[in-house]
Structure 1
Amino acid sequence: MEQPYTTPEYQRCGLAAAGLAALRAEHPGFAWHTLGGHLADSRAFWAAVGAGVEGGYQQRYVCVHVSPGG
């Protein structure tokens, strides 16, 4: 997943949280990463969609099977 985005008129409606929840439900036990990183202006987003998620969403090291740049 890279740079999830919702157009302004639908932001803060819970769409991204619902989408991520559906992905977690369909693929339990998977670890997710975003190649776009967690920029300062998106920390509140990741905190909100990570509420109730064990470990939340936070920056971690990239898995060894993922090569830099994709």
Structure 2
Amino acid sequence: MCRRCRLGWVEQPFTLPRYQRCGLASAGLAALRAEHPGLAWHTLGGHFDDSEPFWTAAGTGIPGGYQQRDICPHVTAGG
């Protein structure tokens, strides 16, 4: 997260296959947004074709929409 730019990134949320499509990843992302309000949310890497529907649904109505965006210059890798 970069509070200066008001940006946050998430990458590779994972749910065990038997619990997929139960809303757990979306709930986790919602909790993260609630804990860090006022940020626009993005991802870093390429999305697998089968994950595009998830990111589209998860990003609906969310500032930034979980679209791909590079890390800003204020954030260093691993920090």
- TM-score (structure 2 length as normaliser): 0.67
Aligned partner of 1:40 in structure 2 is 48
Unaligned stretches of 5+ residues in structure 2? 1-9
Aligned partner of 1:21 in structure 2 is 30
Unaligned stretches of 5+ residues in structure 1? none
Aligned residue pairs total 68
- TM-score (structure 1 length as normaliser): 0.73
User: 1:1-70 maps to which residues of 2 (within 5 A)?
Assistant: 1-35=10-44, 37-41=45-49, 42-67=51-76, 70=78
Structure with greater strand percent: 2
| Runs of 4+ deviating beyond 4 Å | 31-35
Percent of aligned pairs with the same residue?
Answer: 69
C-alpha RMSD of matched pairs (Å)? 2.1
> Using CA pairs below 8 Å that are at least 6 residues apart, which structure has the higher relative contact order?
2
